[in-house]
Amino acid sequence: MKIVIQHSPSDAGRVAARQIASTLRLQQNGIIGLATGSSPQPLYEALAALVRAGEVSFASTRGFALDEYVGIDPDHPESYHSIIARDAIAPLGMDPRLVRVPSGSGSVEEVDEAAVEYEAAIREAGGVDVQILGIGANGHIGFNEPGSAADSVTRRVDLAPETIAANSRFFPSVADVPTQAVSQGLGTILSARAIVLVANGSEKAQAVRDALEGPIEASCPASFLREHDDVTFCLDEQAAALLSAETRARSVTTALDDSTALSH
Ligand SMILES: N[C@@H]1[C@@H](O)[C@H](O)[C@@H](COP(=O)(O)O)O[C@@H]1O
């Protein structure tokens, strides 16, 4: 487990981008796990800068998104289909035909069948090389809310009231926020070969502390990441604000160019 603390979200995003680019450079036709939300946006911007500089290409990289709302039109601007297209596929120059997002459309049976098929597709592709994650203020990753099992797979889930409230900022009112989603499970996420989590801002500080210092249990789904052997937490100072002196002492605050600090 590596913990990187940087002054600003954009610096944390640049470190995370470097980590991802170096992982994928080792893979011909690699597979990236894509996350939505405000947390990964500086990371996608930093990756796009690396693409423009010719340091990395995602043209033949396959992608699997973490999650999608149930019952939302994929063309809705706040669907995760739209957000992944906008925030990841376009700026990274990915081939949209190589990127999949779980389906939240159709009948309950169709959504559930598509979730099973999505899980199988990730396995059949050989698994994710590097998974990008944000974190919810309640410690969720993907849409695996507190109480999710460590070995859960892609499935339909109920959103916690606090998640619905947090995500209402993207919808006209809280009543318009979908109450269910399809999410890769914790087991799916933990099967990625490398994981890079980004967290910014004081509203994530408690979740980051619980994830890194609390018990490893379902009350904080992100705490299960500590059982994975290749995880990097890229934090800005505000998200790291509640970490103990011991945790901070283990963290890397090095200059961005010092890639040796992030090597395995
Ligand atoms: N399902 C997503 C998560 O993948 C994301 O990490 C989290 C935090 O979002 P943000 O980064 O915008 O705070 O909430 C959403 O509900």
Of 135, 148, 183, the one to substitute when testing ligand 1's pocket (max ligand atoms within 8 A of C-beta) is: 135
Starting from the edge strand earliest in sequence, which strands make up the sheet with 67-69, in order? 67-69, 180-183, 155-158
| 8 Å CB contact between 78 and 181 | no
Q: What are phi and psi of 153, to 5 degrees?
A: -120, 180
Q: Report how far Cα 197 is from the mean position of its chain's Cα atoms.
A: 6
Rounded distance between C-alpha atoms, residue 234 and residue 4, angstroms = 5
Active site residue 138: yes
Distance 199 CA to ligand 1 centre (A): 10
Assembly ipTM? 0.95
Indicate if 67 belongs to the active site.
Answer: yes
- Supply the pTM of this predicted model: 0.95
pLDDT in tens, 96-152: 999 999 999 999 999 999 999 999 999 999 999 999 999 999 999 999 999 999 999
pLDDT at 217: 98
Produce one character per residue of 31-48: b if its CB has 16 or more CB atoms within 10 Å, e if not. Answer: bbbbbbbebbbbbbbbbb
Residue 145 annotated among the catalytic residues of the structure: yes
